[in-house]
Amino acid sequence: MASFGNAFSSSIGKKLIMGITGLFLISFLVVHCFINSLIIVNDGGLTFNMGAHFMGTNWIIRAMEVVLFAGLLAHIVQGFRLVFQNRAARPERYAVNNGAANSKWYSRSMGLLGTLLLIFLIVHISKFWVMSRFTGIPTVDANGNHDLFAVMVETFKNPWLVLLYVLAMVSLAYHLLHGFSSAFQTLGWNHKKYTPLIKGFGFWFSIIIPLIFALMPIVMYLGYIN
Amino acid sequence: MSTGNMNLTLKIWRQKNNKAKGSLVDYKISEVSPDMSFLEMFDVLNEDLVAKGEEPVVFDHDCREGICGACSMFINGRPHGPKEGITTCQLHMRSFKDGDTIVVEPWRAKAFPVIKDLMVDRTAFDRIIASGGFISVNTGNAQDANNLPIPKVQADSAFEAAACIGCGACVATCKNASAMLFVSAKISQLAQLPQGQPERYRRVQSMVAQMDAEGFGNCTNTGACEAECPKGISLENIARMNRDFYSAKFVSEESI
């Protein structure tokens, strides 16, 4: 009888889930980065708050938010399961293992980098998202939109949080440096014509997006945007 | 690189049998010629041990020409030692310096249990091959050459995959002890040729299922396998296996 069988529970199926959810989370990064970049207008947050208002009220975005959390959860749960299963595949470790001779450290540390990102996400979501959706943002701006920008300015007065955000973005950059092209390899898209493009694009994407994100708390802390 | 004879310290994994607990044991070896192969150095050590009435070190070896895939030593943290594109038998002592300490361990993976010392049980690979790594052909005389035209690029790519000698270095070096480079090579050598088509989508499902059943880890695309493979098997094969697997599971109506 024809069935999907172990399509998703097999070793390749597990990779497929990581790859698809990973690429989906990458697409979310682009949207998030664009909306946040509106602070560059430097108009006391009016434009940014308009963007935040749109993200908070548009029903397509709100529906995608549920998909986003589902994708994030799948990526995290599957990621941890893979870490433990893969460790179990080598019960006795090597006394000497020269991993640096054959692979990049960050490709061997996706679990660690992902865990750092998870810790960051817990702080990040509790600082901004919970307030936006549930507890409510205390003030409104001149346009009558919730003043999320003011929350940002307040949050990034704390140098420790700025440091946490910058370090998290370094983790994100390394996570993406492996994850971006790795997802395409997992999907089977390894091709002499396309792979150099994917790798090149993935490299710059992995640097530029986290860099833009990291610059936001820095410029706010330094008072360039307020 | 050394020219004169060398004195070396070897730290070798000794383990009585599969159940026993093993450990690294130090051996001093002197007057090692730089022209010796790594395995010849082990022969000298073993003759020494036998002369002293000690148990010689057990290790796998066969052709000693780099083509059989039997030798399997994890040397200073790398499968088949520090050189690229060779097996342990093709590694020569001129790659080391006088006074070096060399750590030699067996392949380590749940699916490759240690039999004794440096010898591991790689029959998991045989069971994966038996589960689908074959084609159906009529017996009798071989067909005329060129009866089945095959594009040169495709023939070359299949041949490159077929260069895999099944030594297990990919599993040994993979941080996840994943066998995907091996399995993908064995799938790719058949999937790209007309003779491999009838069983193509059953094959990929059977071999991946057997690979998972053997307890190998999951690939995370670090590329360590490709870098350490003595035959230069490419990660492109893993991508091809993934594509065939998705086709088999999501498009084909054939299951195993």
Domain range annotation of chain B: 6-116, 122-251
CATH hierarchy code of domain B6-116: 3.10.20.30
Q: A68 in contact with B at a CB cutoff of 8 Å? A: no
Answer whether B160 touches A (CB < 8 Å): no
Whole-number Å distance between alpha carbons of A153 and A44: 10
User: What is the rounded average pLDDT for all residues in chain B?
Assistant: 95
pLDDT of residue A1: 46
For residues B181 and B125, the answer to whether their CB atoms sit within 8 Å is no
pLDDT in tens, A133-164: 888 888 889 888 999 999 999 999 999 999 99
Would you tell me which residues 194-233 of chain B have a C-beta closer than 8 angstroms to some C-beta of chain A?
A: 205, 208-209, 211-212, 215-224, 227-228
Indicate yes or no: CB of B209 within 8 angstroms of CB of A10.
yes
Q: Determine whether B110 is exposed, middle or buried from the number of CB atoms within 10 Å of its CB (0-12, 13-18, 19+).
A: middle
**pLDDT at residue A154, as a whole number:** 92
d(CA B217, CA B233): 19
Euclidean distance between the first and the last CA atom of chain B, given in angstroms as a whole number: 53
CB of B87 within 8 Å of any CB in chain A?
no
How many Cβ pairs closer than 8 A exist between chain A and B? 141
Per CB-CB distance under 8 Å, the chain A contacts of B254 are 2
Q: Does A193 contact chain B (CB < 8 Å)?
A: no
Angle of the A148-155 helix axis to the A46-57 helix axis, nearest 10 = 110
Nearest Cα of chain B lies from the Cα of A179 at a distance, in angstroms, of 9
Tell me which architecture the domain covering B122-251 has in CATH: Orthogonal Bundle (1.10)
Nearest neighbour of A90 by CB, restricted to B110, B221, B223: B110
Question: What angle do the packed helices B200-213 and B236-246 form, to 10 degrees?
Answer: 110
pLDDT at A2 over 80: no
Residue B144, pLDDT above cutoff 50: yes
Contact of A108 with chain B, judged by CB distance below 8 Å, is answered with: yes
- Alpha carbon of B139: minimum distance to chain A alpha carbons (Å): 31
pLDDT digits (tens, 9 = 90+) for B83-98: 999 999 999 999 999 9
Cβ-count burial of A149 within 10 angstroms (0-12 exposed, 13-18 middle, 19+ buried)?
A: buried
Q: In this predicted structure, what is the pLDDT of residue A3?
A: 73
What single letter denotes the amino acid at residue B55?
A: E
DSSP letters along chain A, please?
----TTTTTSHHHHHHHHHHHHHHHHHHHHHHHHHHGGGGG-STTHHHHHHHHHHHH-HHHHHHHHHHHHHHHHHHHHHHHHHHHHHHT-SSPPSS--GGGTS-TTTS-HHHHHHHHHHHHHHHIIIIIHIIIII--S-B-TTSSB-HHHHHHHHTT-HHHHHHHHHHHHHHHHHHHHHHHHHHHHTT---TTTHHHHHHHHHHHHHHHHHHHHHHHHHHHTTS--
Question: Is the CB of A107 less than 8 angstroms away from the CB of B222?
Answer: yes
pLDDT of B3 higher than 70: no
Q: Does B113 contact chain A (CB < 8 Å)?
A: no
Q: Are A107 and B223 in contact (CB under 8 A)?
A: yes
Question: Distance between CA A49 and CA A54 in Å, rounded?
Answer: 9
Q: Which residues of B touch A97 (CB under 8 A)?
A: 77
Q: At CA B219, angle to CA B215 and CA B224, rounded to 5?
A: 115
The answer to whether residues B233 and B163 touch, using CB atoms and an 8 Å cutoff, is: yes
What architecture is domain A11-88+105-221? Up-down Bundle (1.20)
Does the structure's ipTM exceed the value 0.90? yes
- Is pLDDT at B2 greater than 70 in this prediction? no
* pLDDT tens, position by position, B171-185: 999 999 999 999 999
Provide the residue type at B71 as one letter: C
Q: For residue B10, which residues of chain A lie inside 8 Å, CB to CB?
A: none
Contact A182 B221 (CB under 8 A): yes
Query: Mean pLDDT, to the nearest integer, of B105-134?
Result: 98
**Residues in A touching B232 (Cβ below 8 Å):** none
Its pTM stands at 0.94
Residue from A78, A97, A106, A108 to probe the interface with B (highest B Cβ count within 10 Å): A97
